[in-house]
Amino acid sequence: MSSGPSSVSSPRPSPAPEPLANPAFVLATASATCALIVLDTNVVAVSLPSIARSFHASFADVEWVVSAYMVAFAVCLLPAGALADRVGRKKMLLLGLAVFFGASLGCGLAPSAAVLNIARAVKGLGAAMLLTAALAVIANSFHEGPARMRAWAVWGACMGVATTLAPLVGGVITQWLGWRWIFLLNLPVCAVLAWCACQALLESRNPKPGPLDVAGSLLFGLALALGIWALVEVPADGLGSWATGARLITCVLLFGAFVQLQRARAHAMVDLALFRQPRFVAAVLAMFGYAACAQVMMTFLPLYLQNAFGLSAVAAGVGMLPFALAMVVGPYIGAALAKRIPAMSLLSAGLLLIALGNLLTAWMASGQRYAWVALGMIVTGLGAGILNGDTQKAIMACVPPERTGMASGISTTTRFTAIVTSVGVLGAVLAARTHAAFLASTPLTPGVKAALDAGFMSGVLAGDTERATADLSPVVRSTLAAAAHRSFADGFAAALCVAAGVAAAAAAGVWLLAGKAERVRVSEAA
């Protein structure tokens, strides 16, 4: 989740704060708060098979562990930024820590998958409050010049370290302490951060905050949640079922109502006029492609490594390091290339790298040779690293200073909306292809046919093959387990091919929009 500085609070200037007693303490507190969100966003993926085994959860339940958090996060970012301007950034950060603390406790003690997913949604709300407040604190405390540059550099380094360590931390905690401690260990961290915030931060707020768009937030949130619900339930309900159709139609209607509301409002949550600028649309498209086709791998790679290779949680965390380390190196390559090629060309190149990396990983996924899969991860990670900061910079470069808050909110909301949408779409592809590959490769003896009930494949997809085959004879169990590993690898490869196609299409779209923007600029100059 690491990216360039992006505050989603109102762009109107705040009064200059009082001199800080210890600016380093302020920066450390705000950066650590953002790092906590990055860890929590990425660390959970490694524990998904363990959660599935603990609750005997379906694949849809496992998807909702990620999606419930992401939907709430994406929906609440813009209103949380506006609210922080009203009530104060310090107060919002402390309130966010309280919500995050309570939701983490609920996750750690959850008696069922349904309760866990509800707590995860509440946690997404807390994370949105924390991110908007922490970024606003940094922006308000370090105004300009070298101090501001150093502050954002330190913040970016913290995000990079958190992103790199998240899979390994998740694997170690899951295997040695149990998945519940992924959430329970947040409690002392939240307490320490709350104490630091009370000691270090001065209160700041916008004296002329913009209006809260409650109706717009509700419409966008309901539309997104219904769309993800439809996608997540496709493996169970079917793409052509009335339930899926009703959810998708309602999603489209609600989103249309949201757009109409934004067009009618004098002070809209989203200024739709920005989307008439080809360069802005290209930058947002690049952000969507990056998040949907690269960042989403933080969810699916741990499932693949554990289900297809049979790795432990710790080994899966270590196995993801090539991807995470490449994401850290990528921005430096992007910075060097930015001196030689135009910004939009760099975005297209990053998306093409992601497409190439996904195709390479897909090509090697079924062969189950980790070294070649790791090479594909590195290529994807390099493309993701190039785009990680440059997408944000490209979006911010397209708008005047007074609109940077709104543009940053659009950018961050696009990122998480893309991730959660991609989890639903790629999850449906993964499920369908895994099921088809399993049926095609498994000898349908009477014992095997009897085992293939409705919950079997869902358990396999969720990483709970052991439970799915627990009541079978040793011979049938061994046959089905081997077939399940191969089939999941085939399903993962199919999902990666779809992601590669989307990334390539996004690269072409960015290229074409950039060309259109250049033609408009030339004609206006003439």
Return the CATH number at 158.
1.20.1250.20
How far is 477 from 398, CA to CA, in rounded Å? 58
- Band (473; pLDDT cuts 50, 70, 90): low
Q: Containing domain of residue 51, as a range?
A: 18-201
Task: For residue 1, tell me if it sits in a domain.
Answer: no
| 18 conformational bin, left if phi > 0, alpha if psi -120 to 50, beta if neither | beta
Same domain? For 307 and 376 the reply is yes
Same-domain status, 193 and 224: no
Domain boundary among 201, 230, 247: 201
397 and 452 in a single domain? The answer is yes
Residues in the chain: 526
321 and 406 in a single domain? The answer is yes
Is the pLDDT at 331 greater than 50, yes or no? yes
Q: Is there a single domain that holds both residue 228 and residue 314?
A: no
User: Does the structure show a pLDDT above 70 at 240?
Assistant: yes
**Does 442 map to a domain?**
yes
Residue 449: pLDDT band with limits 50, 70, 90? low
| Cα separation, 463 vs 454, whole angstroms | 16
Listed residues 146, 177, 201: the one ending a domain: 201
Mean pLDDT of 165-185: 91
* Per-residue model confidence (pLDDT) at position 6: 45
In a domain? residue 6: no
Looking at the structure, tell me whether residues 152 and 250 fall in a common domain: no
Residues 171 and 238 in one domain: no
Q: Does 12 fall in a domain?
A: no
Q: Is residue 323 part of a domain?
A: yes
Check whether residue 353 and residue 489 sit in a common domain.
yes
**263/382 Cα distance (integer angstroms):** 38
**Structural domains in the chain (count):** 3
pLDDT of residue 104 exceeding 70 = yes
Do residue 178 and residue 255 come from a single domain? no
Instruction: Quickly state the pLDDT bin for 23 (edges 50, 70, 90).
Output: confident
Q: How confident is the model at residue 507 (pLDDT cuts 50, 70, 90)?
A: very high
Residue 206 falls inside a structural domain: no
5 in any annotated domain:
no
- Is 234 within a domain? yes
Answer with the one of 268, 299, 314 that is the final residue of a domain.
268
CB atoms closer than 10 angstroms to residue 463: 24
User: pLDDT by residue (tens digit) across 33-51?
Assistant: 989 998 888 888 888 888 9
How many other CB atoms sit within 10 Å of the CB of residue 470?
A: 10
Residues 367 and 509 in one domain: yes
* pLDDT score at 398: 75
Question: Does residue 320 sit in the same domain as residue 232?
Answer: no
Is 290 in the same domain as 247?
no
